[in-house]
Amino acid sequence: MNALSSIFGYLHGDDGWNILSGLANTIILWLVGSVLGAALGFFIAVARRYGPKPVDWLLKAHVEVIRGTPFLVQAYLLYFGGPYLCLALGDGSVCLTLEPFHAGLLGLTVYGSAYYSELFRAGFEAIPRGHIEAATTVGFTRWQTLRRIILPEMTMLVLPSMVNMTILLLKETAVLSIISVKELKFQVDIIGNRDYAFVESFTILALVYWALVEICGAVGRAAEARLSRYRFAHS
């Protein structure tokens, strides 16, 4: 009890409120970033699979660049990139300035999309050819095959890695504090710096993220368990 009260003991005034708003921002960034990232990733995967070759190459280059560079460097580029472009364009009439929050969300989405797209691509490839051929022989259109056969099967195949990816994105949101996005770590840092309570604040942060990750993992496992009964239909 003593240890706990010493951890929380340094909070006062608006601190609780600030932490909550930081947590809310973290969760918004995480969920919106994941959904947009997954959607964009799916689009990339489909475009690479069904689109013309040059599109595939271009998107592959995009995916490799995003996956080959640190998220922190990407965040810096977005953060400094906006104002820098303004300066470079000179007259300031065409100005691309991103709020840190929007820069962070954009960064998460683009970063996530590259990883999600690879995951969907692997999912497409893991679907047995026979299932798709079977759909064609009973007269499904391409769109019907995608919607009725490929998507449901792929959902089951990629669900575990999607959960992992979503967890990864949650952890990456903490990096956004470095480019002054006012998410959870940013808010807790302010208090920690004020009171020289570094170990305490990072302990609390670790515990909060840990709890969120465990919850996300549990939800993922529950979803997998629910879906796994469909798995009997094919094997």
Partner 1 sequence: MSWELFWLLVEASGLTILYSAVSIVVGFFVSAAVCAGVLSSNRPISAAARLFVSFFRGTPLLIQLLLIYYLLPQIGLNVPSAVAAVLGLSLCTAAYQAEILRGGFQSVPRGLIEAADMCGLSAFATFRRIRLPIAVRLTLPALTSEAIMILKSSSLISVVGVVELTTMAKDLASSTYQPLPIFAAAGFVYLVINLVVAGFGQLAERAARRGHA
- Minimum Å gap between C-beta 201 and partner 1 is 9
CB nearer to partner 1: give 20 or 65: 65
Minimum distance, C-beta of residue 76 to partner 1, in the bound complex (Å) = 5
Q: Which of 141, 203, 221, 231 binds partner 1 (CB under 8 A)?
A: 203
Could you say whether residue 198 binds partner 1 (CB under 8 A)?
A: yes
Q: Minimum CB separation from partner 1 for residue 77, in Å?
A: 5
In the window 65-124, what residues touch partner 1 (CB under 8 A)? 65, 67-74, 76-77, 80-81, 84-85, 88
Task: Choose one: 128-136, 147-155, 170-178, 223-231; the region binding partner 1 (CB under 8 A).
Answer: 170-178
Least separation, in Å, of the C-beta of 155 and partner 1?
Answer: 22
Neighbours of 79 (CB within 10 A): 20
Piece in contact with partner 1 (CB under 8 A), picked from 27-35, 39-47, 48-56, 200-208: 200-208
Distances, alpha carbon 22 to alpha carbons 11, 167, 180, in Å: 15, 18, 12
Q: Please identify which residue in 202, 220, 223, 224 interacts with partner 1, judged by CB under 8 A.
A: 202
Nearer to partner 1, 77 or 149 (CB): 77
Asked if 115 contacts 41 with a C-beta cutoff of 8 angstroms, the reply is yes
Q: What single string gives the DSSP state of each residue in the chain?
A: -HHHHHHHTT--TTHHHHHHHHHHHHHHHHHHHHHHHHHHHHHHHHHHHHS-HHHHHHHHHHHHHHHHS-HHHHHHHHHHHHHHHHHHHSSSSS-----HHHHHHHHHHHHHHHHHHHHHHHHHHHS-HHHHHHHHHTT--HHHIIIIIIHHHHHHHHHHHHHHHHHHHHHHHGGGGGGT--SHHHHHHHHHHHHT-HHHHHHHHHHHHHHHHHHHHHHHHHHHHHHGGGGGG--
8 near partner 1, rule: CB under 8 A = no
CB of 200 to partner 1, least distance (A): 9
CB of residue 103 vs partner 1: minimum separation in angstroms? 13
The residues of the shown chain that bind partner 1, judged by CB under 8 A, are: 64-65, 67-74, 76-77, 80-81, 84-85, 88, 167, 171-175, 177-178, 185, 198-199, 202-203, 205-206, 209-210, 213-214
